Structure formats: C-alpha cells, structure tokens
Amino acid sequence: MALLLLTLAPAASAQKRIALTFDDTPRSVGAFFTKQERSARLITELKKARVAQAAFFVNPGNVRATADEALVESYVRAGHVIANHGFSHPHLNQSSVAAYLADIDKAEAWLKPRHGYRPWFRYPFLDEGGSDKAKRDAVRAGLAARGLTNGYVTAEGSDWNLEQLTIDAKKAGKTIDMAGLRDLYVETHVEAADFADALVIKAIGRSPPHVMLLHETDLAALYIADLVGALRADGWEIVTADTAYADPLKTAAPDVPSANGTLTELLAWEKGLLAPRWYARNDLKIANAFFAERVLHEKPAP
C-alpha cells in the first residue's frame, strides 16, 4: 500500500492549473451582441461554469461613456479583477520608452482607485520591445519602479482572429455554422493549453499555474462555459488569476533575441529549445483554413 501511495503522489501534484484572462476591455461591438449584452452574458456564463475569478485587462482609453465604465464595474461586482493593458493599447516597438510609460501611468490613474484593481500590466500585442533590448529593459525597470508586475500569458490560441473572421463572415452575409464555431473555439484553446504545458515543463521542469489569453469577445460570451467544461474534462483545474500570478514565474525576465509573445515561448527560447515554440494555430494561415472548412464549410484558400 505504501508503494501505491508513493506512485500516486506525483500525479496528484502534477495537476494542470489554468487561470482565465480577458484582454481589451471594453472591446468594440462584435458579430452578435452589443457591448452590454456581451459583458452580461460573459458574467453569466462564467458564473454558470463556476469560475470564481477571471482577470480583465482594461484599456481605459476605450471607456468613452458611462455605460462603458459600468461595464468594467460589472465584472468587479461579479468577483473578477481588473488590471492594466495600457491606456491606448500601444505597440512598444512603435513607441518611445517615455511615451509608453506615460500611457501606462495614464491607465494606472484610471484603474488604481477602483475596486478589484490588481498591479499587473499586460503588454499590448504581447510586445515587450522585440529585438530592442535597451527599450525592453527600460520598460521592465519602469514597471518595477511603479510596483507593477508583468501580466504575462502562457497559453493562447489567437481567439481575436476567430472573432474577426466571424465578424467578417457575418458582414459578408455568409452562413455561419455555430456548432462548428463553438467546437473550433473550444478545441483550439484546449489544445493551446496542452501545448503550453508540455513546452513549459521542458523549459523549467514543472507545470506552473498557467494563464490563458482570451479577449472580451462575442465568442467568449457564447462559448466560455463550453471551454471551461472541456478544460476540466481534459484534466485542468480552473484557478484564480491571483493564484497564477503568485507563482515565482512573476519575476521571470527571459533574455532572448526578441521579446515578443507568450512567456512560455520566451522561456523555451532562453532554454535553447528548438522551434516551434508556439501553438500551431497561432499561424493565421493554419487557423483561417480551419475556420473556412469547419465554420463556413468552404474550401480553404490555397
């Protein structure tokens, strides 16, 4: 019996854990809902899926009306947390360090007085400066001076692209297979999580609590409960963003030739692991072919 217990213990400690995070709040109108309809449905579906806490990374520059502010507050009232995604969602590789930090400060001024605020900053576009190491290090130092930690991502499936493809199809009057869209959305993100976990274990020798990048989209409002169910069926435990960002990974600062993308990718690159270090469907040509075939039932473009 003792031998059996020793055999089972490592499996229990290797539980896959993942937090859900949503970028670009408040996001513009999608294919199916108003902004208020989308946020209300997303809150309802997260509650239905028993997700105690997700994180919403806010662009305060997109808060242009009282209704937008109320939308952000509704997430906090539902038990979720908010953090900084830049005031105007700038690309670091297209900004000076001074302008970029000023944009962060402008967002912080809006966010810090609010309930549910967390001192996390997520780089828009996951752009940490590309190959400009001086800019990368200056912004990292600027974040530390402000008491902000990197709101990093470990797993992502380019959901923003699926959302845009859906918007474009709706505008073009194409028939959208909603069941096919649901299955593609869910499958893509479960696969992305599994890919990230396998890669990060190779890079750092353990499975940390992961952080999944999603966006505040109509697709999330429609299918987040389905995704959570599929993740759990695949062995994942949904944890809070607070839990994920308490991991020692919060201090990771990989020194790689180009700082852009998920932390998983950067850690794997720093470790010397060979490409591909990113989930296959983050290649939009591959993702778009799946969408054409399974959602629009069209022959993919050559």
Full DSSP string of 13-78: HT-EEEEEEEEEESPPP-SS--HHHHHHHHHHHHHHTT----EEEE-GGG--SHHHHHHHHHHHHT
pLDDT tens string 3-56: 333 233 333 345 899 999 999 999 999 999 999 999 999 999 999 999 999 999
Mind listing the pLDDT tens digit for each residue in 226-252?
999 999 999 999 999 999 999 999 999
Mean pLDDT, range 161-172, rounded to an integer: 98
Q: Give, to the nearest 10 degrees, the angle between helix 178-204 and helix 159-171.
A: 160
Tell me what the mean pLDDT of segment 273-298 comes to. 97
Query: Looking at the DSSP assignment, which residues form a beta bridge with residue 236?
Result: 16
Query: Domain locations in the chain?
Result: 17-294
pLDDT given at position 302: 67
Supply the angle between the helices 35-48 and 66-77 in degrees, to the nearest 10.
0
* Assigned CATH topology for domain 17-294: TIM Barrel (3.20.20)
- For the chain, where are the alpha helices, taking DSSP H only? 2-13, 35-48, 66-77, 97-111, 133-145, 159-171, 178-204, 218-233, 241-244, 263-271, 284-294
Task: Taking residues 115-134, report their average pLDDT.
Answer: 98
* Rounded-to-integer distance, Cα 154 and Cα 196, Å: 6
pLDDT for 62-86, tens place per residue?
Answer: 999 999 999 999 999 999 999 999 9
Confidence of residue 300 (pLDDT cuts 50, 70, 90): low
Query: What pLDDT was estimated at residue 177?
Result: 98
Q: Is the pLDDT of residue 181 over 70?
A: yes
Q: The tokens of 300 are what? A: 């993919």
Give the per-residue pLDDT at 223: 98
Q: What percent of the chain has pLDDT over 90?
A: 94
CB 199 within 8 A of CB 277: yes
The predicted pLDDT at position 3 comes to: 31
pLDDT at 299: 84
Is pLDDT of 301 > 80?
A: no
Angle (CA) 3-6-9 rounded to 5° is 150
Note the pLDDT tens digit of each residue in 193-235: 999 999 999 999 999 999 999 999 999 999 999 999 999 999 9
Instruction: Give the pLDDT score at 61.
Output: 98
Residue 182 has pLDDT above 50, yes or no: yes
Give the pLDDT score at 18. Answer: 98
Q: Over 70: is that where the pLDDT of 1 sits?
A: no
Question: What CA–CA distance (Å, rounded) separates 60 from 120?
Answer: 14
Query: Do the Cβ atoms of 235 and 207 come closer than 8 Å?
Result: no
Contact 215, 23 (CB under 8 A): yes
Q: Compute the mean pLDDT over every residue in the chain, rounded to the nearest whole number.
A: 94
